[in-house]
Structure 1
């Protein structure tokens, strides 16, 4: 009986040992699985944190960019509105100045000439039979007054809308401007047109004419120049107009009169560009470019 009992005890001990070993192996396997799961969760949390931080940073950056863009657009809109208000005010001023100038010219020149012409006609009646020599002298004076009145009216009409521009074309109108500038100022003005301008539209021809007119007007008023050159040529980029003088020039910070503003508005309406370069003592250059797509 004793050996059998020892065998049973030995078997029980062996089974207990095997169970303990199995339990240790299961515990180690479970611990290994938990460690793998823990590392996986840590990795996923790290990736999620990095992705979340990146998305948050990108979203914040995008929001800041949109806010800056919105602020820039708002400022641009406000600036455009302010410019429009200033432009409207200045255009009204320009209109009033033009009306005042036209009224003054009509009153001071044409009105006085017509008054003198009427007086000469009344005096002519008394001299017709009594003094033939005085009659002829009065008649010549009347002819002169009539010619002066016609010239003043023609100059006013040419200033408002030059019929020469419609009848003879842009080149002839620009040459007339150069001659009139030289006649009034005594400064030689060379007008050079290097290409045919017949294909230009009415708005383009008017724009070029007004640009040259305003540039010559500013030159007569402020430049104190000895020579003026006007050139119009057709380049690959389009029509290029250049008015250059060798006068006293001006500081770029002083730019911005009504005339230059009008030039800029006309040029921009044709998708063109206006460049004005000047410095004190070195003359002034006004350059206008009208794109080929517009000038075609």
Structure 2
């Protein structure tokens, strides 16, 4: 869509002059002949730029400028005021009213086109940055909402279902003790039910911890990552060397959970595909970013493997909060995976 230029002037010849000077440029030029019409069109069109003559009967250009600046949706639309060459007072008043730039009459065509082109480009860039920031904030809210829901489900699994299964075991054991010892078949059946229920409790606890690791809330990111690596190492019988900067324990909750999820997925990928005998995990910061590096001495991966669901999931999770995944791997030489997250002062 071509940029929209709203030209405001009470004199038809003034409007025609500006339109002719912009003729041939890739703009959609709209016009208004008074302040009220200008505000209505600005509200309807959200122009990329307003060229505003200040000397108009009724609502003058200064008032139009002030009203545009006070509008929450139109307040950042660029405004160039048009004023007479020797009218310094109007120029200063226009700038005080919120105008971004000015052009003197009679308008020079080359200067007009250059100013308009530059300001429209800068405004489009500003709008793009705002949209990206809005998307980033929305993504953060989505991730936060997901984790809150995971935490709720985790708590219900642990507290409600876990307690129900525990009570069931107690009742089964009580029943087992009350039956005739001579009834070995029933005794063994109850024993099997108790064993199955214990396994169910273990699975429920594992599922609850996977949904929302309690150690992350209780111990912080440093200890949570260390504990997870230790537990994973023991379970999978793979040595994991952990090096974590202790100064990073104040990482925000959002960054913490993303780093934790990336580590989970990275280690899972190693056990599935890498055939590694040793792993190195490091968390450090540099130049305004957190870097979680997971390295293995496995078989490496081909390009097709680097586009697998696990890798793509990590990339998407990081991208939601402005991070990136850097993958270095060659067949036979292991893999280095680095999750890089930008941080601000408030994130630490």
Q: TM-score w.r.t. structure 2 length?
A: 0.45
1:264 aligns with 2:316: no
Give the counterpart of 1:277 among 327, 333, 348: 327
Q: Which residue of 1 aligns with 2:22?
A: none
How many residues align structurally?
218
Note the alpha carbon deviations across 1:155-201, whole angstroms, 9 max, x for none. Answer: 11111111122233333322343245446655443333231544334
Write the distance in 1 (CA, Å) between the matches of 2:227 and 2:302.
25
Give the counterpart of 1:149 among 170, 177, 200: 200
1:61 aligns with 2:114: yes
* Secondary structure, aligned partner of 1:257: helix
Show structure 2 runs of 5+ residues with no match: 1-107
1:194–1:294 Cα change, 3 Å? same
Write the distance in 2 (CA, Å) between the matches of 1:136 and 1:191.
47
Q: Which residue of 2 aligns with 1:288?
A: 340
* Secondary structure, aligned partner of 1:277: strand
Q: More helix by proportion, 1 or 2?
A: 1
* Secondary structure, aligned partner of 2:246: coil
Write the distance in 1 (CA, Å) between the matches of 2:279 and 2:202.
25
CA contact (8 A) 1:252 1:277 kept: no
Question: Post-superposition shift, 1:291?
Answer: 3.2
Note the alpha carbon deviations across 1:217-240, whole angstroms, 9 max, x for none. Answer: 44445x424143221235574643
Write the distance in 1 (CA, Å) between the matches of 2:248 and 2:120.
49
Q: Which residue of 2 aligns with 1:16?
A: none
Question: Post-superposition shift, 1:65?
Answer: 3.8
Q: Which residue of 2 aligns with 1:190?
A: 241
Q: Residues 121-270 of structure 1: matches in 2 within 5 Å?
A: 128-129=179-180, 131=182, 137-138=188-189, 140-182=191-233, 187-221=238-272, 223-226=273-276, 227-233=278-284, 237=288, 239-245=290-296, 246=298, 247-248=300-301, 250=303, 254=307, 257-266=312-321, 268=322
Q: More strand by proportion, 1 or 2?
A: 2
CA contact (8 A) 2:221 2:256 kept: yes
CA RMSD in angstroms, aligned pairs only: 4.9
Question: Post-superposition shift, 1:140?
Answer: 4.6
Question: Computing the radius of gyration over CA atoms, which structure comes out larger, 1 or 2?
Answer: 1
CA contact (8 A) 2:258 2:317 kept: no
CA contact (8 A) 2:325 2:339 kept: yes
Question: Post-superposition shift, 1:204?
Answer: 3.8
Q: TM-score w.r.t. structure 1 length?
A: 0.51
CA contact (8 A) 2:279 2:294 kept: yes
Note the alpha carbon deviations across 1:90-116, whole angstroms, 9 max, x for none. Answer: x89xx8xx99xx9xxx9xxx9xxx7xx
Write the distance in 2 (CA, Å) between the matches of 1:59 and 1:244.
57
